[in-house]
Every structure is written in structure tokens, then in C-alpha cells.
Amino acid sequence: MPATLTAPRTLYDKIWDEHVVHSDGEGPALIYIDRHLVHEVTSPQAFEGLRNAGRAVRRPDCTLATVDHNVPTASRKNFTNVEQFISEPDSRAQCVALEQNVKEFGLTYFGMTDRRQGIVHVIGPEQGFTLPGTTIVCGDSHTSTHGAFGALAFGIGTSEVEHVLATQTLLQRKSRNMRVTVDGTLAEGVTSKDVMLYIIGRVGTAGGTGCVMEFGGSVFREMGMEARMSVCNMSIEAGARAGLVAPDDITFEYLKGRPFAPSGELWDRAVAHWRTLASDADAKFDIEVNIRAEDIVPTVTWGTSPQDVAPITGQVPDPATIADPIKRSGVERSLKYMGLQANTRIEDIHIDKVFIGSCTNSRIEDLRSAAKVVLARGPDAKVAPNVYAMIVPGSGLIKQQAEAEGLDAIFKRAGFDWREAGCSMCLGMNPDQLSPGERCASTSNRNFEGRQGAGGRTHLVSPAMAAAAALTGKLTDVRKLMGQNSRASAEGAKLKLTSVFDFLTDKATAPPAPIARSGAVGTGAPGSNAGASMLKFTTLKGIAAPLKMGNVDTDLIIPKQFLKTLKRTGLGDALFFALRKDPATGAATDFVLNREPYTKAKILVVTGPNFGCGSSREHAPWSLMDFGIRCVIAPSFADIFKTNSMQNGLLPVVLPAAQCEELAKDGEEGLELEVDLERQEIRREKGRETIPFEVEAFRRHCLLNGLDDIGLTLQKDREVVAFERRRTAEWPWLDGLGYAGQVAANAKAGSKGMDW
């Protein structure tokens, strides 16, 4: 055993070590992926890639697919099929495409007639597909949710989805270890959502960049699994690669008996292994944050970034008190967008809509918590006049359980709209959206501009706070509604509790056989080695467009309505859509990319940090590329955006903020920059000083040579097969139903070596 494996290790270190298939110690490691969740938005291009290369899905038994983002949440009573039910053509096309792909590639699929259908991050844990100690990925940033089980779970882009489908592995660099400890006792009325909003407010949306964030301390140890999921869910909002809570008896109790979880003797073996995973007492964390539970009160967001938080007892900030000009203008911009005056009391903010749902807060505990607030107001409690409040359970099973408990009746009696499962107004890829100017108290996770609908205004809150806002028509301290002692009054408001196992009665079954296609699925693509399908990047000379903003999120780079495409191309006009088109008239604005000479920009120079934060949508780099931009220079990038860019031949260059400012000035003067990846330098006009930069050696090599990751990984097939044999021997519960120790041969083992 190497020395590093005997030194004290964190939970993350241990999961990482157990999943390395190959590492040369320098480049990224090839890690094995135990569980892959798939949804309709980020998978069509990945399946298309497999189809074009004649590749199969390597481990259908470890892959689970559902539809969630596009599905309407209207009653399915008259549902006959997706074609008939989904009227919006692009949403329909994505759902139909997934239905065809799962058949063609032979995958387990919870479609719209399956009561197990729901938000991908809700159904994985619900089914016991999510297990401790595993690596879990999905083409979705909130894959971090599954870290609540002590799994290394993170979002990936579509190119990586294709990589995992084809190889069941990913090329990854190890992140740093960060720990957030919250000790003490939470005050009455303070929930896991408040804890996480508070943490994001403290560390910022880039606080966890490059890190895996473990949550420790008495507060998380005492939390139930659903609360832990809400916390880990939003670790991506803190910029972290993943969130983690050590698995313990609470975890095991939650999982035992779930359809996809191991049972019998395998269960005992699995639990014995899971107990070894917690961070060693003397393990070292690169970053430590300590928080006192007593400092946290019900928390809401006032602005357009999840870090814009305030206690419900507080007020909207005043930009005049902020010295840093970028931060000040950011706050001014947020307040303008949110239609708020500085120093307004948070409790004086009136709302138009309430959304209870999303992968953060749509589970049974969340619904119970909202229902308790309604019950505490007595039988005549009513949603405030002029407020529309909707409740969207995270899965069909949660909906059934809530109905068995009578929660739907409590909500309906008070005037809430009770809907079918899906992502719904968290993102509004389906018909559930805010209208321009509408203000919403939402239990979701992102309050970016236009997130819930163009011009819509989002305040993130807990389910209890959302229910309170629905009843009063404004952001309200839920503690006032629950009385002095919320726990006591909540207990007074009795709910008829049920067991989830009354509903989890559909047995897990082996995935169906793929539909055979001539010479394609299952037959592999011998010889399709290091593909040169990625666009090469050597040197790039051109106009640089300056963008003086920080925390530019991918919702802003490309809004949701453009994620419905089945292609990777044609997205240039969608780039920064909300900034480039006047929402009222549709006319072009004076945004930098609409002005000459920047309509021909090949480089984007951003002066603020954390470019590309938020969603994992690879559509962000696709739209930049389609516009003609091949290089983005910024002080820092969000992890997923950076990887997605590299996968597409778009070069992200990190430079200190002062140098970004200098280059932005060149851009403002209309000067060209020349980005030379070979020499790792940026040459400027007018004899201005050349600026050096650094790009990780492996990625530089791939960009310079146009090498795509799948081709490289297929050359490691022998190592992958050996890993799978060991996995079956040591952790047999990870092989899914129908796995016979055979995988589709995607590439011939032992083909040419590769210098990575």
C-alpha cells in the first residue's frame, strides 16, 4: 500500500483513492464512475456522439435515466404519450429523444408514466441508486446533492456525459479538501436551507472553487438525510466541486430496503465498508470554515446571486456603503434588476408567487415542513390574495406519499396549486415560469437574472419560509407564524405520517437489452483511438471584447430556452441573450458584443472573478464558440465551465485581476491580442508588454493536438477492465442488475500507448 494511503485521510481522499483506475502522478487521473444519472437536457448530444462513433453504453446496469427539466407539471390524467402531452416542440423533442436513446442503448428509464419519475437528484437517493463511497456523476451541476450519502458526486458537461457513457470513467484532477463545520444547536425555525444560505453568504459563490467541501459538526450529524441533501445540493452554489457528509447510522437507516440498495449479506458487507469512510480524526483540510449554529436565523436572498443573503430580520444592502467599485456596481445592478431600494426591510418585500419544489427542497420532509406552517395558522389559513403558490413534489412517489399523508389536502384547502413532479419553476424549461417583474419566494437554489423566467425576481428561502410568504404575501419570519416555540406548535399541528416503504414497492429490474443496430451498439469501435475530433487551439489573434463583470453565471451566458436543442451548434445568437436583446422590444442593446468591433471578437476579457459559475450547461462554451470566441481570459473560472471549455477547444486563461484589467483596456481601445498556447503568452499591440500564462500540461497537450478525452481513455481499456474485476470482488453491491461481468467492448485493449 503506498504511503499516502496509510497517512490520515479525509472522506474525499478515501473515495478518490478507491476509484483511481490509472494515474501517472502528473496528468489527470482516470477515475471509475460507479453511478451515472441521465436526463433529457444534457444527454442528446452525448448519445449522438456514441451513435456516430458506433459506441455502446459501457455499464447500462450503473446508469439510470429520467425526464425532469422539460416535463409539464399539469395533471397527467389524460396522458397517452410524450408526443401528445408536451406541446412545446423543443421540450417535446428532448423528451422524445431521451425515450429513443434509452431504448436504443438499453438503459433503465423512469418515464412519464412511471411513478418513480422525478427530478434526477431526488430519484437517485429515493431508489437507493445513490450509495455511500461511490462516485456519482450526471450532466447537471446539482449532482452534488448525492454527497449527502458520503458519495463523491459532481456535475459534468455533455462531453463528459458521453465519456462516461462510453467508458464509465472520467479524467479528473484531484480537488482540495475543504471543511465547513457548524457546531451548536440551531434555533427554532432554522432549517438546513437557512444553514446553507448562511454558509454561501459567508464563503461566497467562489469560496469552494477547486475544493470538495465536507460538512462536519454537530448540526450536520444531527440532520436527517433529506436535510443533508439540501445542504450538499447547494454546495455547487458555494463553488465547490462536490459536497460531502460522512455516512453514518442515519444514512444506513435511510438506505436499508430501498430497491437499488444491496440487501442480505451484501448489505452487511457494504455497511462494514461504509463505516470505514469517515475522515480520519487527524486528516488535514486545506481550508477550514467554522460557524456557530446560534448565529444562523431564517435566511433569504435579496439579490441575483446565491451569496446575496440577508437574515429575515435584516434589510437590503446599501451600495453607497461598499468601497470596492466592481462589488458596488454588482450590488447596484442586482438591486435594479430586483426592483429593490437600498435599506428596505426584508420583511417589507411583497411577493407575487411562491414555488415550493426543486432538487433542493421537494422531498417529503420539505413538504411536511411547509404543511406544518399552514396547519399552524389554523383551518382557515389561506394563500394571500394576489399570490399564486405552487407545490411541485420532487418525484411521483413523493407525490403519492404526500397525498397519503393528506398534505395535498392541507395545501389545496389553503389555495396552493398541487402539481406533478419535475424541475418546474426552478428553471422554467417547462411552462412554469415567472412573468417579467414578478417576484417569487422560491425553495430552489438559484436566483440568477431570468432564472425562473425572463425579468422574474427570485428570493431563495426554505420550505417553511416559502409557506409563510405564501400566507402573508410578503417575505416573513416564519418564527412569528409558528409562535414562540415553533417545534411545539408544529407538533401540535399533527400530520399523519407514513413510511416511504409503503410506496417504494416497484422492484429494481435489469435494464432492457439495447435495440440492435447494424454494426453499432454493443459492437464497439475497434481502432477508434485517440480521436482528433476536438478543435485544435494553437495561436489565436483577434479583437478582445472587455466584460467588466464578476460572477458571470452560465444562466446569463445562455438562458434556459436555448438548452432545448439537440445540437451543439447554432447557439451564437443565444450568447448573453438577455444582455444583447431588449426584453420589451427585442431590439439589440448596446452590450459590448453588439458593438463594433466586438461583433467579431475572438477573445473575451473578463475583469471580475468566477466566470461561468452555476449550471453545468456545456451550451455556454458552445454559444461562445459559435459566436466566434475561442478564448476567455478572467481572474478565475468555475470548475465545470473550465472543463467544458477545454473539451471543446475553447481556451480559458487565468490571469491576476490587474492583468485582466490591462488587457480589457487593450480591448476597449480596439487593439488585437494574440494568444499563443504553445508559448503560453499573450502578445499585445503597440509594443505593450507580453503577458505569460499557464495551462495545465495535459490539457495544453490535448488542445494543441485536438485530442478528445474519449479516444485517450479507450486506450486504457485494460486498466478499466482490471478495475472492474476488482470492484466486483471487493464491492460486489456496486454491480447493477443484469451485469454478467461483461461489458460491451468499446475498444480493443492494449492498443497503442499514449503519452499522457
**Binding residues for ligand IPM, per CB under 6 A?**
41-42, 69, 140-142, 155, 427, 563, 615-617
Nearest Cα residue to 755 out of 718, 717, 704, 702 = 702
- String marking each residue 118-147 x if it binds ligand SF4 according to CB under 6 A: -x--------------------x-x-----
Amino acid at 189: G
* Minimum separation from the CB atom of position 427 to ligand SF4 (A): 4
Q: Is 452 in the site for ligand SF4 (CB under 6 A)?
A: no
Strands 63-66 and 20-22: unpaired
User: Does residue 310 interact with ligand SF4 by CB under 6 A?
Assistant: no
Helices vs strands, H then E, count in the chain: 27, 26
Q: How far apart are CA 487 and CA 399, in angstroms?
A: 25
* Residue 41 binding target from ligand SF4, ligand IPM, none, CB below 5 to 8 Å by type: ligand IPM
The one of ligand IPM, ligand SF4, none whose footprint includes residue 358, by CB under 5 to 8 A per kind, is ligand SF4
Q: Residues 211, 231, 402, 423: which binds ligand SF4 (CB under 6 A)?
A: 423
d(CA 356, CA 191): 15
Which residue stretch of 166-174, 419-427, 486-494, 542-550 sits at the interface with ligand SF4 (rule: CB under 6 A)?
419-427
367, 98 Cβ separation under 8 angstroms: no
C-beta of 594: minimal distance to ligand SF4 in Å?
Answer: 29
Return the SS3 of 652. strand
Question: Cell 454491480 sits at which residue?
Answer: 735
Interface with ligand SF4 (CB under 6 A), residue total 12
Task: Choose the one of ligand IPM, ligand SF4, none that binds residue 444, judging by a C-beta under 5 to 8 angstroms depending on kind.
Answer: ligand SF4
Binding partner of residue 119 among ligand IPM, ligand SF4, none, CB cut-off 5 to 8 Å per kind: ligand SF4
Element (H, E) at 232: helix 225-233
Of the pair 114, 674, the CB lying nearest ligand SF4 is at 114
Given the complex with ligand IPM, which of 40 and 717 has the nearer CB atom? 40
Task: Strand 242-244: give its sheet, edge to edge.
Answer: 242-244, 211-216, 176-183, 287-292
Q: Find the shortest distance in angstroms from Cβ 143 to ligand SF4.
A: 9
In the bound complex, which residue of the shown chain has the CB atom lying closest to ligand IPM? 615
Residue 385 has a CB neighbour count (10 Å cut-off) of 7
User: In sequence order, which residues have a C-beta less than 8 Å from that of residue 541 and are 6 or more positions away?
Assistant: 602, 672, 673, 674, 675
Asked whether position 427 contacts ligand SF4 by CB under 6 A, the answer is yes
In whole angstroms, how close is the CB of 426 to ligand IPM at the nearest point? 6
69 binds ligand SF4 (CB under 6 A): yes
Residue from 359, 397, 592, 629 in contact with ligand SF4 (CB under 6 A): 359
Task: Please name the residue that has the C-alpha cell 486506450.
Answer: 715
508 close to 737: Cβ distance less than 8 angstroms: yes
Identify which range of 211-219, 421-429, 451-459, 586-594 contacts ligand SF4 by CB under 6 A: 421-429
Q: What angle do CA 310, 313, 318 make, to 5 degrees?
A: 50
Is the separation of the CB atoms in 59 and 743 below 8 Å? yes
Judged by CB under 6 A, the stretch of 214-222, 273-281, 305-313, 423-431 that binds ligand SF4 is 423-431
Minimum CB–partner distance for residue 155 and ligand IPM (Å): 5
**Interface region with ligand SF4, contact rule CB under 6 A, candidates 104-112, 268-276, 420-428, 605-613:** 420-428
* Residue 59 touches which member of ligand IPM, ligand SF4, none, C-beta under 5-8 Å by kind: none
Is position 358 an interface residue for ligand SF4 (rule: CB under 6 A)? Answer: yes
| Distance in angstroms (rounded) separating the CA atoms of residues 278 and 125 | 19
3-state secondary structure 430-467: CCCCCCCCCEEEECCCCCCCCCCCCCCEEEECCHHHHH
Question: For binding to ligand SF4 (CB under 6 A), which residues are involved?
Answer: 68-69, 119, 140, 142, 358-359, 423, 426-427, 444-445
